[in-house]
């Protein structure tokens, strides 16, 4: 890719290949803005490695696809940083491997950041974490996701609002910002909190966090960290959350 205005979409993956496939399929089908796709296998023990190898053989993806196979789980923050080091775009978009993106998602995020020169990080509209009924309906019929996204895009077209923080399920960042505020903090191992801490740093440097409210992202929520392998290595995600809340003094207003 030679266009420096492209978006570098980075997806760190730890197992949950069923959801990774859905995520990547949505990016490939729904992304019409120029982009490159950087996939990071973060030491998965399932079929993720083989799936990535098959993707690499598809010639139509070769020009925009980069695959990084890590031997062990480096943690989310380090995986993202590795992805950033391999990126060529003007924008970085970090998404979880258990999300499904929708039509014109990148256009909406690019617009949100460019609306104000101080906008540094943008998030999206997404289904709430506790909305289990909607998740169940979407699992049965994926068309529901597109229907919701279309309504939200029409209702909130080009509406950008200030955000308190931007969650890592989808973080859209001006790449130039990293030179000023630094990369993601790799001490947040294996995951959780690196997004919140990064946003707090961005604000301290005088930049703004916003949400592109016309972009809807569907999120399954915690599919990678609910696996037996993750819990064997790290107890459970709730334990990791509480540890990071205490260790890094994450503000109460950002606690999930």
Could you give the number of structural domains in the chain?
Answer: 1
Residues of the chain with pLDDT under 50: 1, 225-226, 237, 240, 244, 255-256
Say how far apart CA 175 and CA 153 lie, in whole Å: 25
41-65 pLDDT, tens per residue?
999 999 999 999 998 887 666 678 9
Give the three-state DSSP class for 98: coil
Residue 134: predicted pLDDT:
84
Residue 126 lies in a domain: yes
Residue 1 lies in a domain: no
Say how far apart CA 227 and CA 18 lie, in whole Å: 12
Full residue range of the structural domain in which residue 242 is found: 7-254
Residue 177 lies in a domain: yes
Say how far apart CA 126 and CA 129 lie, in whole Å: 9
Residue 36 lies in a domain: yes
Say how far apart CA 50 and CA 62 lie, in whole Å: 16
Extract the tokens encoding 131: 């909305």
Q: Which of 80, 140, 111 is nearest to 215 (CA)?
A: 111
As a whole-number percent, the residues of the chain with pLDDT over 90 amount to 68
Crossing angle for the helix pair 76-85 and 194-204, nearest 10 degrees?
60
Residue 18: predicted pLDDT:
93
Residue 51: predicted pLDDT:
95
The whole-chain average pLDDT of the chain stands at: 87
If residue 162 lies in a helix (H) or strand (E), which one and from where to where? Answer: strand 160-162
Residue 228: predicted pLDDT:
56
Residue 4: predicted pLDDT:
73
Say how far apart CA 29 and CA 215 lie, in whole Å: 16
Residue 180 lies in a domain: yes
Say how far apart CA 95 and CA 234 lie, in whole Å: 22
Residue 248 lies in a domain: yes
For residue 101, give the CATH number of its domain.
3.90.550.10
Residue 71 lies in a domain: yes
Burial class (CB in 10 A: 0-12, 13-18, 19+), 85: exposed
Residue 158 lies in a domain: yes
């Amino acid at each position: 890719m030679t266009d420096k205005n492209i978006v570098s979409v980075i997806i760190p993956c730890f197992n949950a290949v069923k959801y990774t496939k859905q995520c990547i399929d949505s990016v490939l089908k729904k992304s019409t803005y120029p982009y490159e796709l950087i996939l990071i296998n973060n030491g998965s023990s399932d079929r993720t490695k083989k799936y990535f190898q098959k993707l690499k053989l598809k010639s139509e993806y070769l020009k925009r696809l980069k695959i990084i196979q890590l031997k062990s789980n480096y943690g989310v923050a380090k995986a993202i940083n590795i992805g950033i080091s391999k990126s060529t775009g003007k924008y970085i978009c970090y998404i979880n491997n258990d999300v499904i993106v929708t039509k014109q998602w990148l256009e909406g995020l690019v617009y949100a950041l460019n609306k104000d020169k101080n906008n540094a990080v943008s998030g999206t509209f997404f289904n709430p974490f506790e909305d289990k009924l909607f998740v169940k309906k979407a699992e049965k019929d994926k068309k529901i996701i597109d229907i919701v996204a279309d309504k939200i895009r029409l209702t909130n077209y080009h509406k950008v609002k200030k955000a308190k923080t931007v969650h890592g399920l989808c973080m859209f960042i001006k790449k130039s910002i990293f030179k000023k505020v630094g990369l993601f903090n790799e001490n947040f191992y294996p995951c959780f909190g690196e997004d919140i801490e990064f946003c707090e740093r961005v604000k301290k440097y005088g930049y703004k966090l916003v949400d592109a409210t016309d972009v809807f992202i569907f999120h399954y929520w915690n599919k990678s960290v609910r696996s037996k392998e993750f819990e064997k290595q790290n107890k459970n995600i709730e334990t990791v959350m509480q540890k990071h809340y205490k260790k890094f003094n994450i503000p109460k207003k950002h606690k999930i």
